[in-house]
Amino acid sequence: MSEERPVDVALLRKFSPLDGMKKENLLALARKIGISQLPASRTLFKEGDRDKLTYWLIAGLVELREGDSTVAMIRGGTAEARNPLSPKLPRKMTARAVDPIEYLALDSELLDMMITWDQTGTYEVAELQAHLTGTVGDDWMTTLLQTQTFHRIPPANIQAIFMRMQRMNCREGEIIIQQGAEGDFFYAIVSGKCLVTRETPLNRGGLKLAELTVGDTFGEEALISEAKRNATVTMLTDGVLMRLNKKDFRELMNEPLVQWIDYPMARDVIARGGHWLDVRLPSEHQNLAIEGSLNVPLYFIRLKISTLDRTRPYVVYCDTGRRSSAAAFILVERGFDAYVLRGGLDAAEGALRRNA
């Protein structure tokens, strides 16, 4: 495999589900992915592999095999190549390059997270800005959603976290966290910069550990571990912080109050008059879906909620549970009886409909 070449937004839009993402988020994604090459007769992945990568074929011909049988021949640039190659884990097929190929490979969890925020972010920011009056733009929110700390938080809890945050106007030199103190708040920087230092027996003045800026967070370690603060954080400039108290932080780091059910239970709900609700993008739904499911992409849930039947339960699904849990929480908040299919499409393999 050769070194990766840069990729542009126009190329990413040729593939599902990337074709449904906003330009600014595709630009961010383009910085995390590149075009890779593989010589003819080499294997891209093997049946049974569990590598958490999503692959798209750009150019060349790939053979997909199950055991000793050829299942499909996929050529770059065709309609079949718009969708990821054998995305389910463990891999159902082996992919072998017949010609020299060019392809994209992206961490599957990063892809799922970015699609979820792409579809919820616009609404979240619009609603939150009305609440957080006086904050400096929404750059800090967008940046915060992409941090590792927020990757661990269930999507349905994000809005609640922002709504419970308290605004702090801070001055240059102000100590926000003191080393050795009890942990009480989680902080996010809206504007300005902070300095992180740690006092040691040999350096009472404090060793400089890091400088933090807009979108950076701090203070979660002591809240998670119930330990004392292990560093001091001081404002380097005037700025604005948002803080979340320990009780809310610990509560909202856990799953929201949505109901997860396995496939047999989901079938019972459907048998009692429920509906399957697929909240993935239309291109994903068209390629693979549960028979008879209704497709309302996550980013349309709020707009289309009046078209849903409040008298019947919904079993919401996506690929992994990230988008469906966010959608179910929105429905439950608005009085619907909604469940999340645990395991996503993998759990319903026997009921899947594939389109040619």
Residue of 57, 177, 318, 330 marked catalytic: 318
Question: Which residues contact residue 241 at a Cβ distance below 8 angstroms, ignoring those fewer than 6 apart?
Answer: 167, 168, 170, 176, 187, 188, 189, 190, 192
Instruction: Evaluate the omega torsion of the peptide bond into residue 39 and state whether it is cis, within 30 degrees of 0.
Output: no
Q: Is 194 a catalytic residue?
A: no
304 vs 207: CA distance, rounded Å? 54
Of the candidates 303, 316, 185, 200, the residue with the CA atom closest to the CA atom of residue 248: 185
Of the candidates 63, 55, 64, 16, the residue with the CA atom closest to the CA atom of residue 37: 55
Positive or negative: CA dihedral 159, 248, 323, 275: negative
Categorise residue 206: left if φ over 0, alpha if ψ from -120 to 50, beta otherwise. left
**Residue type at 73?**
M
Instruction: Identify the H or E element spanning 269.
Output: helix 263-271
Burial of 90-112, coded b for 16+ CB within 10 Å and e otherwise, reads ebebbbbbeeebbbbbbebebbb
Categorise residue 20: left if φ over 0, alpha if ψ from -120 to 50, beta otherwise. alpha
Classify residue 85 by its DSSP letter: S
- Judge contact between 72 and 94, C-beta under 8 A: no
Instruction: Identify the H or E element spanning 267.
Output: helix 263-271
Which residue matches tokens 């072998």? 96
What are the start-end ranges of the H helices in 41-171?
A: 108-131, 139-145, 148-151, 158-164
**Residue type at 118?**
D
Q: Which residues are catalytic?
A: 318
